[in-house]
Amino acid sequence: METVTIIGVDLAKNSFQLHGASTDGSVVFRKKLTRPQFRQFMADHPPCIVAMEACGSAHYWARQMVRFGHQPRLLSPGYVKPFVKRHKNDAADAEAIVEAAHRPTMRFVEPKTEGQQSRTIVFRTREQLVNQRTELVNALRAYLYELGYVVPQGIGHLRRLAEIVEDENTELPDLVREICRDLLNRIAGMTARLETLKKTIDALSREAETSHRLQTMPGVGPIAALAIETFAPPMETFKRGRDFAAWLGLVPLQKSTGGKQRLGKISKMGQRDIRRLLILGAMAVVRWASQKGVPEGSWLARMIAKKPRMLVAIALANKMARGIWAMMTKCENYRNPVMVAA
């Protein structure tokens, strides 16, 4: 029997499809195992490469494979799809994973540690609460609008909404007033939970040396710093800062052909949380620079004078990404380019 050098695994909750192959790609076995059977099979199998799509539970199983002595390889599902032959099923997916993992130029996803996954859950929970609170605020605005009370959008106008609901002189039906008060109570509860999560994130940012270093860059706060440490792979995987910016999707989308360069909007192909937070931080820096002013002749001053504000923010976010790569690879704090030039 040929020696198995790589096993492709199509993960699921209870059913796991395995595709074992030799060095030259020849099929050695195809198996469908339950969750307990899969764990026992991999524990007893000789060490080999185990390839999986980077989907739900993939990082957990990657850590388990390391404990069993295997070498896990996580692939982006988008890179596996072109290797699926004809019809899609579990066996075809497992075979496609092996085919994709065999490619010499394939890019793999770095497995996350338990600490990184824990911080990921904190971010996802905060994002979910923000979305739910926004939904409740919009519902409250809509109910009052139906009765003739118009309030601008945004959580900053919540106090005005509360004043309308609590004002006994407003012509709100008692039933509507009761429902609106219930919505206000739920919004207040979510705000309190968000404050608790923010304190947790601030504490995590202070504990980590990397997060503390990243916050020396203007536009990078505790949430953005912890997001970079949580979601970004080791910076050693990127040869230069431009590669990290491209990984975040902060570079123009290329549709070049026939020797003609055609660049569009940013690709948005990378990690959306870090990209969004960097753009928000850059927008805050641009807004502050527009109000307070920046040194004449500086890059930011020239950009603000010629380009739209959002375009300047995205360009600045790209520069921030490249600076973050340099800070993390050299283990240095942020240095203001203007001050260094002086």
> Tens of pLDDT along 104-143?
999 999 999 998 899 899 989 999 999 999 999 999 999 9
Alpha helix stretches (DSSP H) within the chain: 35-44, 58-67, 77-80, 90-101, 114-146, 158-166, 174-207, 209-214, 222-231, 241-247, 272-292, 299-306, 309-330, 337-341
Judge whether 278 lies within some domain. yes
Question: What are the residues facing 17 on neighbouring strands?
Answer: 10, 32
Of 57, 87, 109, the residue at which a domain comes to its end is 109
For residue 291, the model assigns a pLDDT of 83
In this structure, which amino acid lies at residue 178? E
The domain tally of the chain equals: 3
Alpha carbon distance 27, 94 (integer Å): 11
Q: What is the pLDDT of residues 33-68, one digit of tens each?
A: 999 999 999 999 999 999 999 988 999 999 999 999
Judge whether 241 lies within some domain. yes
Judge whether 258 lies within some domain. no
Judge whether 158 lies within some domain. yes
- Examine the domain organization and report whether 72 and 156 are in the same domain: no
- Examine the domain organization and report whether 12 and 85 are in the same domain: yes
Alpha carbon distance 76, 72 (integer Å): 13
Mean pLDDT, the chain, rounded, equals 90
Neighbouring residues of 199: CB distance < 8 A, sequence distance ≥ 6: none
Cα 319 to Cα 215, 234, 250, 338, distances in angstroms: 15, 19, 9, 14
CATH code of the domain covering residue 13: 3.30.420.10
Rounded to the nearest angstrom, the gap between the alpha carbon of residue 202 and the centroid of all alpha carbons in its chain is 19
Give yes or no for residue 246 having a pLDDT over 60.
yes
Give yes or no for residue 247 having a pLDDT over 70.
yes
Judge whether 212 lies within some domain. no
Of 187, 207, 227, the residue at which a domain comes to its end is 207
- Examine the domain organization and report whether 118 and 81 are in the same domain: no
Q: What is the pLDDT of residues 188-216, one digit of tens each?
A: 999 999 999 999 988 888 887 888 899 99
The end-to-end CA distance of the chain, in Å, is 70
- Examine the domain organization and report whether 124 and 231 are in the same domain: no
Contact of 278 with 248, CB cutoff 8 Å: yes
Judge whether 276 lies within some domain. yes
Judge whether 232 lies within some domain. yes
- Examine the domain organization and report whether 233 and 322 are in the same domain: yes
- Examine the domain organization and report whether 78 and 27 are in the same domain: yes
Give yes or no for residue 342 having a pLDDT over 70.
no
Spatial CA neighbour of 225 closest among 88, 143, 134, 334: 334
- Examine the domain organization and report whether 95 and 45 are in the same domain: yes
- Examine the domain organization and report whether 156 and 223 are in the same domain: no
For residue 338, the model assigns a pLDDT of 55
- Examine the domain organization and report whether 82 and 123 are in the same domain: no
Percent residues over pLDDT 70 in the chain: 98
DSSP letter (8 states) at residue 83: G
- Examine the domain organization and report whether 185 and 226 are in the same domain: no
What value does the mean pLDDT take over residues 236-257?
88
Q: What is the pTM of this model?
A: 0.81
Of 79, 109, 139, the residue at which a domain comes to its end is 109
What value does the mean pLDDT take over residues 242-262?
85
Judge whether 1 lies within some domain. no
- Examine the domain organization and report whether 104 and 120 are in the same domain: no
- Examine the domain organization and report whether 337 and 223 are in the same domain: yes
Contact of 239 with 232, CB cutoff 8 Å: no
Contact of 48 with 6, CB cutoff 8 Å: yes
Host domain of residue 133:
114-207
For residue 261, the model assigns a pLDDT of 78
